Amino acid sequence: MIEVEALAKRFKGPGGRVVEAVREVGFTARDGRITGLIGPNGAGKTTTLRILCGLMKPDAGRATIDGLDVVAETRAAQARLGVLPDNRGLYPRLTAREHVRYFGRLHGLKGAELERRIGVLAERLGMDDVLDRRAKGFSKGQTLKVALARALVHEPPNLLLDEPTNGLDIASSRAMRELIRGFRDQGRCVVFCSHIMSEVAALCDHLVVIADGRVVAEGAVDELRARTGLQDLEEVFLSLTGQSLDAPTPPAVAPATAAS
């Protein structure tokens, strides 16, 4: 379970200007549930995720992974967390297997047990064909699978997945959604970030909407629909985040003049 209370984080921007990336973010992501963290670009999602991963320290508030404070007990918290960040670069000269093995070893795994887990993940993620190929030239889908496999190798009970279907084709996206549902059914706590509202609607049991560094709404998809009186989740999202619902009018197209 991931619990976040009143997180705040400021940065010094260009020219010494202070940017408040996160002002007050608080939510609970329970086990056996997919919690969607959604918000417009620059809302503070990435900063929140980085604090949860132990990559940044909050200026105020606290966050825990299974009760472990991400600042005071960073390593223990990280050990219970699997992360698929937005930055999911691979090492072009290492094979897929070596990537997963590297992260497994950093989690203290080794020997036959580690190799067994790599085999299981490769089969489950459908990456047997690229397992012993070097990552240079991998497609987006193959890159994603390797990045996911290395995030899962220590079998973390908590998962942070940032845009996990970004760049995938339809079939792969569908397979990924099934996989994420599978994580939930195993009782894991899944925090899922996406800009694709249809995917959010299809997957998430609970939504946390962030805008301008604050949580502006929280609840099940249907609860948020009822609260806004809107059916379409995209419209619900735009309404909750205070963004304009008016789409720009497309320019009028003049009817073609028939040549005589």
Partner 1 sequence: MLAPIRVICLKELLDNLRDRRSLTVAFVYPLLGPILLGLLVTAVSAMMSIDRTQQSDITVKVAGGERAPELIAFIADQGARIEAVGGDPQAVVRDGEAKVVLHIPPDYGERMAGEGRARVEVILNAAQLTAVVASGTVTRLVRDFNNRHARDTLRSVGLTLDDLSPLEVETVNVSMREARINDFFLFMVPPFIIFTVFIGGVYLAIDTTSGERERGSLEPLLANPVSRWQVMLGKFAAALIFTLMALFVQLAAFKISFSLAGAGPYSLAGRLEPMALLGLVAVCLPLIMFATAIQIIIATITRSFKEAQTWLGLMPLVPAMPGLAMVFVPVNPELWMMAIPTYGQTLLMGQLVRGDPVSTLNVLVAGGATMAVSALLLWLCARLYARETLLWGA
Least distance (Å) between residue 154 CB and partner 1: 9
Minimum distance of partner 1 from residue 258's CB (angstroms): 54
Q: How far is the CB of 225 from partner 1 (least distance, A)?
A: 34
Of residues 55 and 179, the one with the C-beta less far from partner 1: 55
Interface map 29-58 toward partner 1 (x if CB under 8 A): ---------------------x--xxxxx-
Least spacing, CB of residue 38 vs partner 1, in Å: 21
Task: Kindly state whether residue 248 participates in binding partner 1, applying the rule CB under 8 A.
Answer: no
Contacts of partner 1 in 139-178 (CB under 8 A): 147, 150-151
CB of 100 to partner 1, least distance (A): 12
Token duo for residue 252: 């009028």
CB closer to partner 1 out of 108 and 248: 108
235-244's contacts with Cβ under 8 Å and 24+ in sequence apart are: 237/38, 237/197, 237/209, 240/209, 240/211, 240/216, 241/39, 241/40, 241/43, 241/209, 241/211, 241/216, 242/211, 242/216, 243/40
CA distances from 220 to 19, 49, 95 (A): 31, 21, 41
Output the CA–CA distances (angstroms, integers) from residue 10 to 4, 6, 51, in the order listed: 17, 13, 12
Cβ-in-10-Å burial (0-12, 13-18, 19+) of 173 comes to middle
Please report which residue ranges of 23-152 form alpha helices under DSSP H.
45-52, 74-79, 96-106, 111-125, 140-152
Residue 4 forms beta bridges with which residues?
A: 27, 63
Nearer to partner 1, 76 or 230 (CB): 76
Q: What is the per-residue binding string for partner 1 in 56-75, x denoting contact by CB under 8 A?
A: xx----------------xx
Q: Which is nearer to partner 1, 4 or 147 (CB)?
A: 147
Note whether 195 binds partner 1 by CB under 8 A: no
Instruction: Indicate the residue among 150 and 177 with the shorter CB distance to partner 1.
Output: 150
34: part of which helix (H) or strand (E)? strand 33-38
Instruction: Please identify which residue in 39, 44, 58, 85 interacts with partner 1, judged by CB under 8 A.
Output: 85
# binding residues, partner 1 (CB under 8 A): 33
What is Dmax (Cα atoms) for the chain? 80
Q: In whole angstroms, how close is the CB of 60 to partner 1 at the nearest point?
A: 16
Which contacts qualify for 215-223: CB closer than 8 Å, 24 or more apart? 215/24, 215/25, 215/26, 215/27, 216/240, 216/241, 216/242, 218/27
Residues 87-126 that bind partner 1 (CB under 8 A): 87-94, 98, 102-103, 105-108
Which residue number, 36 or 85, has a Cβ lying nearer to partner 1? 85
Binding site for partner 1 (CB under 8 A): 50, 53-57, 74-76, 78-79, 81, 83, 85, 87-94, 98, 102-103, 105-108, 134, 147, 150-151
